[in-house]
Amino acid sequence: MTQNTLGIGDLARLTGLSVRTIRFYCDAGLLDSRRSPGGHRRFEPGAVERLTLVRRLRGLGFGLTAIEAVLAGERSVAEAVAAERAALDVELATLAWRHASLRAVEEAGPAARAARLDLVAAVTDRGAAHDALVGFWKWQIGTWPDQERCAFLSMTAPEPPADPTPTQVVAYAELVSVATDRSLLRLRQAQTLADAGRIHAGRDLMAATVEAWLQAEAPVLAGEPPGPSLALDTFVAAQAGARRVQDSQAFRRDLLGRVAMDRDPRMRRYWRLLREITGERATLGDLHTWILDGLEVSVTPGRESGGSWARNGSGGGCAPA
């Protein structure tokens, strides 16, 4: 040591780092040094603590940019650790998704493997897959307030599972295939545009629709067939009020035609797949479709409560598993 400074060999001994590594950190700008008259690197005593921190952060996998931010005081150790953990969560979720995708292809039979590979390959990007679901619903929620918008999307276009099973990966891939069906998307856009300017009191309609869904939950979970119900009356009253007309058989028949897209077999499949992904016994879509199937019963002369739902136990995929 000379004049209370440390040589690079001393610094290596005190920190457990190699001379080569210390030179690298100097060249990367993480450690300051000055030259002795003989041209050797000399370090202040504080370099020991600084390098010890660098070694510990590197041991946790921190990159040089993140370490530099900590050393410069731009971010505390706690903040840096939290950011690193969050980034690692994303990486782990990506790896888990890839692992489950590979298993899904591996577990498919020889005859189905090519189709399975084609299906899951379309959702290797988890973010893009989720964006496809959000894009499908944007026509319906474009003008909704942020809170309601986020709540609705969490129930209808959930993020891919963080630690999925192969079955969930396949179901999510199939869900995306439904959401990206161009003809179905055109139907949803047409339905939304057809109601533009005809529906008033958007927040009231939204609140009443949510109330109808809640009223439908118990009978749906109990396996009751669709038909006349409090949930149906609440839903129809809300729709009639939003259009400033009276509830009537004529209005119900007109409304049934306007919601035909929501009862499309592809939408029923959407909700079935969503149940496979989320594990829910009944999704929001199941409740909604049960109400709409009840609407059909209410306007069909001679139609018994239940109809196709009661006969096949699912109404085309709407009853909870």
Cα-based distances in Å from 93 to 82, 160, 255: 17, 9, 43
Identify the pLDDT of residue 228.
94
Q: Which domains does the chain have, with CATH numbers?
A: 6-74 (1.10.1660.10), 92-312 (no CATH)
Q: Which two tokens stand for residue 169?
A: 């990966």
The yes-or-no verdict on residue 143 having pLDDT over 90 is no
pTM: 0.76
CA distance 238 to 80: 50
Beta bridge partners of 42: 7, 34
pLDDT digits (tens, 9 = 90+) for 223-253: 999 999 999 999 999 999 988 999 999 999 9
The yes-or-no verdict on residue 281 having pLDDT over 70 is yes
Of 181, 189, 192, the C-alpha closest to 267 is 181
Q: Which two tokens stand for residue 280?
A: 């829910």
Share of residues in the chain with pLDDT > 70 (%): 89
CA distance 42 to 59: 25
pLDDT digits (tens, 9 = 90+) for 206-226: 889 999 999 999 999 999 999
The yes-or-no verdict on residue 290 having pLDDT over 80 is yes
Secondary structure of 125-150 as H, E, C letters: CHHHHHHHHHHHHHHHHCCCCHHHHH
Identify the pLDDT of residue 306.
44
CB neighbour list of residue 240: distance below 8 Å, 6 or more residues apart: 246, 247, 251
The yes-or-no verdict on residue 316 having pLDDT over 50 is no
CB neighbour list of residue 16: distance below 8 Å, 6 or more residues apart: 55
Of 187, 107, 103, 83, the C-alpha closest to 140 is 187
The pLDDT of 287-309, averaged and rounded, is: 79
Identify the pLDDT of residue 192.
74
